Amino acid sequence: MRSGLALILRLSANFFFLALAAVPAVAQTMPTVEFDEAVRRAIEQNPTVAEAAQNIQRAEALLRQTKSFVQPFVSAGITNTTLNSERGFNGLVTQPQNQSAINASVGMPFSLSQWAAVEQSRDQIEVNTRSAADVRKQIAVTAAEAYLNIIAARRQVEVTERALQSARAHLDFAQKRLEGGAGSRLNQLRAAQEASAEEARLDAIRLVLRRAQEALGVVMAADGPVDAGSEPVFETATPGEETEWTAARTDLQFQTSVQRAAERVVRDSWKDQIPAAAVAFNPLYLTPSGLFQPARTWSMSISASHDIFDGGLRRSNARLREVARDQANLAFAGLKIQARSEVRVAQDAIELLERARTNARLSAEQAVEVLKITTQAFEVGALTNLEVIDAQREARDAETASALAEDALIRAKFDLLVALGKFPR
């Protein structure tokens, strides 16, 4: 029994260590995509894009529905009437006991307001098409930002890992000095505190990285987190003529279509004053026919109607349409001002951040050199470990600032592409 128990314990231990060994393997199965692939898959698979496409189909269905109100119509019906007995006098039948009536109706409505509604519905197809294009751009931008957030978090992880490595090396040196009788417990505790702080910072940044990977997976409609591949390279775009880049922006295109649709509705308001007319042709067949009812007959009617007094409904409708048009114009004007500002800010940001990146890189190199010199001086007893810890923190902060400057420059170039309507390509 003891041998059996020992076997079970060994198998359990083996299973436990195999499970632990499998954890990194599971983590490594996270799919990795490149920048263009992430954007493409987000546009193709994100449910928001599919929902926008459904709005186009809905607008097309509404157009067909609106057109049906101004198309010719044909209807037919049959009625069978049975009385308790036939009707008549002097042996003549005026109303048979059982009689069937077959009738039909062919007509055509004439309404300028309904024809105007057809063109207005056609405008809504363009509005929804432009809206879907803008939604695709927004999803692409969201995917790109999630991808860049992963790159930025990964860079911060690398900086913190180097800082942790430096802190652990200092702790190892302080521990050895303490064990050799040349160091102090205070120096060892200071080094240990710095190493613990770097470990906590690294865990926090790794959480930021994981959240960014989850965000990329969500926007791509994936089943789990997705990791970013290589860092994308963005060329510095040139604005060119304003008419060119404003025409390329999907949000401005969408707002322009809203403007045109609202303007058409206002122009068509006068058509509400025109009477609506209709013409109808109604053939009728009776079997058997009665004395005063021929077997075949038809009628034709032409009608027109108009509301003489509607309590101010047409006037209020026209005013609401004018307000909607004015709101569309104001929204377009505000959006264009915002677009110009985005272009200017992105251009200035690129110019300033290029200098900031250069200075940050130089500062990081200098801080690393200071740390190296300070560490060497401490090891020969010329400085205390306080100077080493300060140098470690300054080196970490300088490298962090350099990484942030690099990320900010990449983001500024990306923002300029978006502002000029050059993304997605």
pLDDT in tens, 161-188: 998 998 888 888 888 878 888 778 888 8
Neighbour-count burial of 48, counting CB atoms closer than 10 A to its CB (0-12 exposed, 13-18 middle, 19+ buried): middle
pLDDT at 283: 93
pLDDT at 386: 86
Contacts of 26 (CB under 8 A, 6+ apart): none
* Tokens at 421, concatenated: 């309507």
Q: Model-level pTM?
A: 0.81
Virtual torsion, Cα 271, 275, 279, 284, nearest 10 deg: 130
pLDDT at 28: 54
pLDDT at 7: 37
pLDDT at 369: 93
105 within 8 A of 75, measured Cβ to Cβ = yes
Instruction: Extract the residue ranges of the chain whose pLDDT is less than 70.
Output: 1-28
Looking at residue 170, its amino acid is H
pLDDT at 14: 45
Domain boundaries, the chain: 29-82+93-419
CATH 1.20.1600.10 fits domain 29-82+93-419: yes
pLDDT at 25: 39
pLDDT at 12: 42
Residue located via tokens 């890189």: 361
pLDDT at 92: 80
H-type helices in 220-296, by residue range? Answer: 242-248, 250-267
Report the distance separating Cα 269 and Cα 282, nearest Å.
Answer: 33
